[in-house]
Structure 1
Amino acid sequence: MAFYLGLMSGTSVDAVDAVLARFDPGFELIATQSTPIPDALKQLILELAGGAEDSIDRLGRLDIALADLFADAANQLIDRQGIARSEIAAIGSHGQTIRHRPELGFTLQIGDPSRIAERTGIKTIADFRRRDMAAGGQGAPLVPAFHRSLFHSPDKDRVIINIGGMANLTSLPRDSQKATLGFDTGPGNVLMDEWINLHHSLPYDADGQWSASGQAIEPLLEKLLDEPFFRQPAPKSTGRELFSLQWLRQHLQTRTEKTRPEDVQTTLAELTARSICDAVNSLKLDSPELYICGGGAHNRDLMQRICTHANSPMVSSTSVLGLDPDWVEAVAFAWLAWRTDSGLNGNLPSVTGASGERILGAIYPA
């Protein structure tokens, strides 16, 4: 029974999540580890994602530095677990997204997989998104295929909601003849993280304490919700290219009233909750159960707001389904590596809009 190692760093740019798992004959999560991204490296990522000057040289240096960080995360997990490297069939590395422009036909994740393979001595599979995009898809989200394999229920309609920097959902109708759908719903934590960092130099709003202290500014919320992306039909995906601090500031500049920073934070929490629940309601499912994963699952205020707006008998984290919300995406990229290694498709055309099923990723031998 071969093991697969998954590496994931999302749009929140807070850590590299590493997992060790196996999928045949059944799923088993063996070990997990989270390696923080150093502040200096995080700043380089955000500068490059924002279009920094001298970007080609920056990209080259960052590609190497991130590969080393990913390799270190993998090596530490392997050494701690004491598993022989020969037992690990492959590493699935998502890389760090620095551009996602499906409207222009490209996406870019960095963290040189050749270097990861060299430093770990293990076959590495990476660059999962671009093959789907070449087939006319969005290249995202890719995790719904994994969600379907692990979380589908024949008895209940379910929606899996990942709240990272951006938020995305997977619709899992209990009727397996109905299509699995998935798409980005809009901002997850990204705007709240940037706003609290601007005002309090904190990386995130722990438990949503700051957002819980304010009052939502309804006129501002309605303006934010008027963003055309929210009305765009699926398939769709988004990123920091749209939902950024600059986008928020543009809306704040139109206000003549004085605004308290905490009220803006509350409004941003409402924006995430409302946009997620509006997207869920658009699915026309029968009282679906909602299961949250990603960092947003730990934000009590945000979870409460989702409970308030959701028309659902169940709002919980994926932990009740047997997988801790912190590790779902990293496990998904271990699963995608297994699919690629087995010659199986990793995308769902009903989710991404691709012209057909595709084997995803490029393989970098050990």
Structure 2
Amino acid sequence: MMLTTLGLMSGTSLDGVDVAMIETDGKRVQRFGPSGYRPYTERERSLLRQALTEAVNLPQRDARPGILREAEQAVTIAHAEAVAIFVAQNRISFEDIDIVGFHGQTVLHRPEKRLTVQIGDAAALAKAIHIPVMHDFRAADVAAGGQGAPFVPVYHRALAQSLGRDGPIVVVNIGGISNITYIDGNDTLIACDTGPGNALLDDFMFRTMHQPFDREGRLAAQGVADEAWVTRALELPFFTLPPPKSLDRNDFAALKLGPMQPADGAATLTAFTTTAIARIVPLLPKPPKSWIVCGGGARNLTMIRMLREQLAPATVEAAETLGWSSDAIEAQAFGFLAARGLKGLPLSYPATTGVPMPMTGGVIARP
């Protein structure tokens, strides 16, 4: 049975709430619906940055001391507003939506301690929007010993299979962190984080240029990457680990650029992101034939150019060129995962998160 699902995603880049509707049975996508976006305000972003700092010392996953409680309320209200705006703009009735997939805002991801924390009050959200809300997608996986990330691979597989092209195909999502899904027919689904996405670059742009990101990679295009710095950064043990593996954006907090011009700094961090992605190729069963780039990085032309140089002879194309929505893909995925969760289908697998067996997950909050 096809369900109309609404996926809500707020990523590590702290930019805002993505909303996307799809029709799916949890195995294939019948139709893409509209998508939308509700940016975080400066105050909300500031709250979330403080929450990320304070979350490092969280004693348990449901604790919300101090600023975390305030941040959770802000996240919940932002998501409720995002749904209300989306429904009004697209003239959709709340009753037309069967289930909402609510990821929440990750403030701590420490799978080695069997701990992952996404803030956002699903019960309050369900009451506000009068639709059942599936949430807490990652907890069961992490509790079972999985990495709890990435969780979009099953959706990438559904999209890639609709292309009807020879594999292996890799979908690389460049959000705050970069992650890949390696798809080779029905049987092989491998996924992992590869390293930084836009988080380090965005933080650098905010700090040095007072801009939220490097639009189209224009600043990086004017600079020269410090290859020696990139090589040293890639000596972190993470980069030689086989998949599955995952990261927290704070894992790179200790990496500091030396004194350099802003353009060179942007070029260096862009090169770090793309070289880290290319580093995964020897750790995969076969060299991929094609790479499909989604997430914010797909709009960074310098990032795409560097990826093409480093991944040749494989093709590299932005998801948009295939009719996919780069902006909406993660939100769509959580709508897809909500449908799978409702039907008891696996959300994660041994080769995507390292969990011992295929795991379903998600918890339903009813209005």
CA distance in 2, matches of 1:36, 1:281: 38
Query: C-alpha separation between the residues in 2 aligned to 1:215 and 1:33?
Result: 36
8 A Cα contact 2:29 2:158, kept in partner: no
- Alpha-carbon distance between aligned partners in 2 of 1:313 and 1:220, rounded to the nearest angstrom: 26
- Residue 61 of structure 2 is matched in structure 1 by none
Deviation of 1:358 (Å): 2.1
Structure 1 residue 75: Cα displacement: 1.5
1:248 aligns with 2:251: no
Task: Decide whether the 8 Å contact of 1:151 with 1:321 is kept in 2.
Answer: no
Q: 1:281, 1:311 within 8 Å by CA — same for their partners in 2?
A: no
Q: Secondary structure at the match of 2:191?
A: strand
After superposition, the Cα gap between the structure-2 partners of 1:38 and 1:159, relative to the gap in structure 1 and judged at 3 Å, is same
The AA in structure 2 aligned to 1:161 is: V
Cα distance change, pair 356–260 in 1 and its aligned pair in 2 (3 A): same
Counterpart CA distance in 1 for 2:140 and 2:322 is 31
The aligned residue for residue 77 of structure 1 is 86
Q: Post-superposition shift, 1:287? A: 4.5
One-letter code aligned to 2:99: A
Residue 331 of structure 2 corresponds to 330
Q: CA deviation at 1:236?
A: 0.8
- Residue 164 of structure 1 pairs with residue 175 of structure 2: yes
What secondary structure, in the 3-state scheme, does the structure 2 residue paired with 1:241 have? helix
Matches of 1:203 and 1:129 in 2, distance apart? 28
Task: Report the counterpart of residue 166 of structure 2 in structure 1.
Answer: 155
Q: Offset of 1:132 from its aligned partner?
A: 0.8
The alignment's C-alpha RMSD in Å is 1.8
2:65 counterpart residue number: 56
Q: Show CA shifts across 1:69-115 (max 9, x none).
A: 10111121122222222221110011100001112111000111111
With over 3 angstroms needed to count, the CA separation of the structure-2 counterparts of 1:265 and 1:301, relative to structure 1, is same
| SS in structure 1 of the partner of residue 251 of structure 2 | coil
Cross-structure match for 1:193: 202
SS in 2 for 1:56: coil
Q: How many residues are paired up?
A: 356
In the TM superposition, structure 1's runs of 4+ consecutive aligned residues that sit over 6 Å from their partners are 52-55
Q: Which residue of 2 aligns with 1:363?
A: 364
Q: How far apart are residue 51 of structure 1 and its match?
A: 2.6
Label 1:101 to 1:118 Cα distance change in 2 as closer, same or farther (>3 A): same
> In structure 2, what is the Cα distance between the partners aligned to 1:207 and 1:99?
29
Letter in 2 for 1:163: I
Instruction: Report if the CA contact (8 A) 1:92-1:336 is conserved.
Output: yes
Q: Distance in 2 between matches of 1:65 and 1:26?
A: 32
Structure 1 residue ranges without an equivalent (≥5): 253-257
SS at match of 2:359: coil
Code of the residue aligned with 1:260 in structure 2: it is Q
Distance 2:252 2:129 in 1: 36
SS of 2:252 mapped into structure 1: coil
CA separation in 2, counterparts of 1:313 and 1:62?
43
What is the TM-score of this pair, normalised by structure 2?
0.93
Give the drift of 1:240.
1.7
Structure 2 CA distance for aligned equivalents of residues 218 and 338 of structure 1: 45
Matched, 1:307 2:318: no
Match of 1:12 in 2: 13
Aligned residue in 2 for 1:38: 41
Aligned residue for 1:333, secondary structure, equals: helix
